[in-house]
Structures are given as C-alpha cells and as structure tokens.
Amino acid sequence: MESALELRRRIAAGEISLDSYYEALLSECESAKARFNCLTAITNQLAMATVERLKTNMKNDRPKGRLFGLPVVVKDNICLRDYPTTCASKILENFVPPYDATVIGRLIAEDAVIIAKANMDEFAMGSSNENSAFGPVLNPHDITRIPGGSSGGSAVAVAAGLTPMALGSDTGGSVRQPAAHCGVVGLKPTYGAVSRYGLVAYASSLDQIGPLACDVESAALLYSVIAGHDERDSTSAEISICDYPAEMQKSVKGLRIGLPREYFGDGLDGEIRTSIEAMIAQMKFEGAEFVDVSLPHTEYAIATYYIIADAEASSNLARYDGVKYGLRAKNDDLLSMYTNTRHEGFGAEVKRRIMLGTYVLSAGYYDAYYQKAMNVRSILKREFADVYKVVDVLLTPTTPTTAFKIGEKSNDPLEMYLSDIYTVSANLAGVPAMSVPIGRDGKNLPIGLQLTAKHFDEAVLFRVGKAVERLAK
Ligand code: GLN
C-alpha cells in the first residue's frame, strides 16, 4: 500500500479520480469483509457524500485538509453519528449514536473519507479478536490464524490494503498486538494525548485511541490530526504537536536505547528474538547506543493490569441494563429485565471480566486486590520514569509469539492474558508505545518490534520507528 501522504498528493492533484477510486474501494471492502470478517459495516452513504463534498471543494479551489480524500476505517467502539456503534456486542447491536466522537470530527475536518467500521473483540476485551459477537476476524497472512486483538479489524483493513490508516483503541495492547500480527504500524499514544470523547469506555484510566497504518509516516500523520486537547474529555492534555516529518528525517545516531531485560526472558519466541537482535546490530551500526536496563516489577504487570482493567470494566459496563441503550430482553419485571438483558447481551469473556472486576472491588477483597494493584501500578510508573532518566526510548518485542492459530488459546483465558505480557505496562504507566514490523518468521508471519518512550514523547517513537522501518526493508 502506498503511504497516506503519497495517496493524498495524487488525489489532491487530480491524478486519481475520487469517484472511480471510491467506487472500486467500496466494492473491495465488501470482498474483504466476506474474506476476513474484518468489518462490521461499510459506510457507503457517508463515504459517497464526503466524496461529493470534496469534489465540490476541488472544483472551487478551496483549501484541502491534511487527510484530503484519504480513506479511513474506524474501530466499532468509536461513535460515528447515524451508524451503529456495536462494540462487536449483541447488547449494542442496534445502538446508533446521535453524535460523533471527537476523533471523528477531526478526521472529517481534515477531509478524510470514512469507509467502514471495523470488527473487534467485544468491548475491546481480548488479544486475538476471537471474542466478537459477529465471529472471529481472520489474519490475511494466514486465514487459519488470529489477527491479534482487540483492534483486529482495523489492522486487517490496513494489511489487506483497503486503507493506509485506521483507528483502533488500546487498553492493554489492542493497537500494538494486531499491528504486530498483521505486519502494520500501530501507536498507543500517551494517556491524555487523544480525546476519548465518544470512545465506548472499557477501562477508562487505560484506554487510548491510536492509529494503525501501513507505515510510520502515515501513523504520524493520523496521530497529528487526532491528538490534542479536547474540553469534552477532562483527562485530555494540552500538548504541542511537533514537526513529525522533520523528526523522521533524523537518524538514530546518539540516541540511547534501553533493552529491559525482563522483556527478553523465557517465553519469547526464538525467531522473534533473532530478528530483534539483528535489528539492534543494524541500529548500533547507525550510531545508536544500547543500554541494558531493568523494570523489575514487569512480572506483576499482567496481574495488575487484569485487576484494574476488570474493575473499571465492571463499573463502566453497569450502564448496559436494558434501559438506556441497545438491547432490552423479554422480561416480567424490572429485575428480570436487567438480568435477562445482560445475560443475553454480553458474551462469555465480558461476563467473566464483570465478575472478576466486581469481585476485586467488593468490600472484603478491595484491599487485597484492587488497592494492591493500584500500589503496583504506581511502582511500575516510577520504574518507567527512572529508566527514562537514562535512556530516550525502550526497545522490546511487541508480542511473545507471532500469530497463533484460531482456537489455540480460546479455552484458556490465563494463557490468552499472558500474550499481553509486553504491552500492558505502557498502559499502566500511561506512556506512549508503538509497534513497527521488522520482518517475518519461518511461517512467513509478521514480527513486530515495540518502542516505548516517556510521556508525550511520541516524536522520538516516530523518529526511531522510521529508522527501524528503513533498516527492516
Ligand atoms: N488483551 C487486553 C485485554 O483483553 C488488552 C485489550 C485492549 O487493549 N483493549 O484487556
């Protein structure tokens, strides 16, 4: 897939006709939807209405937005007015939001063309995209394998060439994991960098919307459009958007790159280790300096994450009671309406998490689990802060293995949770992290490398990511 910038240039210059491009693309979406189950809806009407507006703008020589004419696919937990936002759940199957998420408003303001909503794990709970109420998403590199979750549909849309850019959300790895498994770039921004207004909440202190893209440059472009303060999200930060294209011109010379030893222990696939080592050697040759560092509490990250995420989820999902949104089950009285709706509407994984979350928040267990997890979270955060006094960026694998077979881990939730080992810490600490493809394993499956930086230093991720991308070619 050509980069977003090149595609925009050709569309803006009139080298590609918007009409024929989108006519072909929307039918390609239909076929990708059938082959990979990656989309929940194709937004034909919105796309064609946008195309009409852009054509009029071109005709009248009006200024063109930074995403002029570029197709974008949006994860189905981000509200898009007048189209269902299902979160891949039966409980929201018929929920049509009357408003746009802030990120949607920003895409439209820059003349992007939204072509589809992407399939995902139900309520973004999952690592493999097998938890969708609409069936699993298939990896285009091998359709017997998972694409990674929970933003699997968004990653597949990019990997299948439907779009150079898509939006996902990342609570514990859901942008980076599918990016790694599908061979695309995925960024989890710093907590607070991108507005969550209009993102259906899973675990509010961890959730961030982030770009998936065919290359680092396209990810940077999309990030620069969606990032920035929003008065409708009280956790959104005032940030300055750097000149990312200029950052991406710089080499890695003189940068200090940390290798946290806890991320290279047992359990890391041998081929992933070898390709990361080869990349490190190339980066040394370009003048980067590597430093061995330690984040000793990493071993508690999974337990900490699943306690906090499930606790927040159990509270956030209390709103689906048959009264306010979506599904309302048959009932005889108020209580049976609540219970039947939740029983019928939620899938098994969502129910498991609501129960776990309710348990760790209950009076007798709060101190033993939730409070303890919050304490560990503070320690992890401090460990990251300390390490960034010594290094500019951390380099790790994104996932312990390449894409596994559909069904391989679905009966063992603990095993599934362990596949998040390298991604959850960034969410707990709130720092930005990006997955960049660095090659393939012996089965020809993509391998991802993860870069993590200090709060609000997305610039260094784009800079190092661009170098990694070039060296991986
Ligand atoms: N796999 C993790 C979970 O299931 C992360 C999901 C996400 O980032 N949304 O919670």
Q: Check which CATH number belongs to the domain holding 147 and give it.
A: 3.90.1300.10
User: From ligand 1's centre to the CA of 75, what distance in Å?
Assistant: 14
CA-CA distance, 448 to 397, in Å (whole number)? 6
Strand order in the sheet with 39-42: 39-42, 113-118, 71-75, 165-170, 208-213, 185-188, 433-440, 446-452, 393-397, 256-260, 289-293
Pocket residue to mutate for ligand 1, from 129, 171, 212, 419, most atoms within 8 A of Cβ? 171
- How many domains is the chain built from? 1
Question: Is residue 150 annotated as part of the catalytic site, yes or no?
Answer: yes
**Nearest residue to 140 (alpha-carbon basis) of 452, 471, 446, 467:** 446
Q: Between helices 44-59 and 18-36, what is the axis angle to 10°? A: 160
Question: Is residue 128 annotated as part of the catalytic site, yes or no?
Answer: no
Would 353 be classed as within a structural domain?
no
Query: In this structure, which residue's CA is closest to atom 10 in ligand 1?
Result: 125
The owner of tokens 């800079």 is 463
Is the CB of residue 202 less than 8 Å from the CB of residue 123? Answer: yes
Cβ–ligand 1 distance for 383 under 6 Å, the answer no
Atom of ligand 1 nearest to the CA of 174: 8
Beta-bridged to residue 199, according to DSSP, are 78
Question: Is residue 33 annotated as part of the catalytic site, yes or no?
Answer: no
Atom of ligand 1 nearest to the CA of 349: 4
Among 75, 117, 188, 454, the active-site one is 75
Cβ–ligand 1 distance for 341 under 6 Å, the answer no
Would 292 be classed as within a structural domain?
no
Would 463 be classed as within a structural domain?
no
Would 75 be classed as within a structural domain?
yes
Would 118 be classed as within a structural domain?
yes
Atom of ligand 1 nearest to the CA of 151: 9
Atom of ligand 1 nearest to the CA of 202: 9
Domain carrying residue 203: 4-247
Would 91 be classed as within a structural domain?
yes
Q: What contacts 327, CB < 8 A, 6 or more positions away?
A: 90, 91, 92, 93, 94, 320, 341, 344, 345
Cβ–ligand 1 distance for 247 under 6 Å, the answer no
Beta-bridged to residue 395, according to DSSP, are 451
Among 89, 127, 128, 150, the active-site one is 150
Longest dimension (CA), the chain: 71
Cβ–ligand 1 distance for 168 under 6 Å, the answer no
User: From ligand 1's centre to the CA of 125, what distance in Å?
Assistant: 5
Cα–Cα distance list, 316 to 3, 202, 204, 311 (Å): 37, 7, 8, 9
Cβ–ligand 1 distance for 309 under 6 Å, the answer yes
User: From ligand 1's centre to the CA of 253, what distance in Å?
Assistant: 34
| Single-letter residue type at 228 | G
Query: In this structure, which residue's CA is closest to atom 5 in ligand 1?
Result: 172
Is the CB of residue 65 less than 8 Å from the CB of residue 141? Answer: no
User: From ligand 1's centre to the CA of 303, what distance in Å?
Assistant: 13
pLDDT on residue 240: 84
Cβ–ligand 1 distance for 127 under 6 Å, the answer yes
pLDDT on residue 335: 95
CA-CA distance, 297 to 302, in Å (whole number)? 10
User: From ligand 1's centre to the CA of 448, what distance in Å?
Assistant: 17
Cβ–ligand 1 distance for 129 under 6 Å, the answer no
With 0.85 as the threshold, say if the pTM is over it.
Answer: yes
User: From ligand 1's centre to the CA of 24, what distance in Å?
Assistant: 34
pLDDT on residue 425: 98
CA-CA distance, 288 to 281, in Å (whole number)? 9
Q: Tens digit of pLDDT per residue, the chain (473 long)?
A: 789 999 999 999 999 999 999 999 999 999 999 999 999 999 999 999 999 999 999 999 999 999 999 999 999 999 999 999 999 999 999 999 999 999 999 999 999 999 999 999 999 999 999 999 999 999 999 999 999 999 999 999 999 999 999 999 999 999 999 999 999 999 999 999 999 999 999 999 999 999 999 999 999 999 999 999 999 999 999 998 889 999 999 999 999 999 999 999 999 999 999 999 999 999 999 999 999 999 999 999 999 999 999 999 999 999 999 998 889 999 999 999 999 999 999 999 999 999 999 999 999 999 999 999 999 999 999 999 999 999 999 999 999 999 999 999 999 999 999 999 999 999 999 999 999 999 999 999 999 999 999 999 999 999 999 999 999 99
Cβ–ligand 1 distance for 124 under 6 Å, the answer yes
Among 132, 154, 174, 275, the active-site one is 174
User: For the chain, what's the residue count?
Assistant: 473
pLDDT on residue 241: 83
CA-CA distance, 82 to 460, in Å (whole number)? 38
Would 329 be classed as within a structural domain?
no
Please give, one letter per residue, the 3-state secondary structure of the chain.
CCCHHHHHHHHHCCCCCHHHHHHHHHHHHHHHHHHHCCEEEECHHHHHHHHHHHHHHHHCCCCCCCCCCCEEEEECCECCCCCCCCCCCHHHCCCCCCCCCHHHHHHHHCCCEEEEEECCCHHHCCCCCCCCCCCCCCECCECCECCCCCCHHHHHHHHCCCCCEEEEEECCCCCHHHHHHHCCEEEECCCCCECCCCECCCCCCCCEEEEEECCHHHHHHHHHHHECCCCCCCCCCCCCCCCHHHHHHCCCCCCEEEEEHHHHCCCCCHHHHHHHHHHHHHHHHCCCEEEEECCHHHHHHHHHHHHHHHHHHHHHHHHCCCCCCCCCCCCCCHHHHHHHHHHHHCCHHHHHHHHHHHHHHCCCCHHHHHHHHHHHHHHHHHHHHHHCCCCCEEEEECCCCCCCECCCCCCCHHHHHHCCCCCHHHHHHCCCEEEEEEEECCCCCEEEEEEECCCCCHHHHHHHHHHHHHHHC
Would 423 be classed as within a structural domain?
no
Backbone angles phi, psi at 429, to 5 degrees: -85, -15
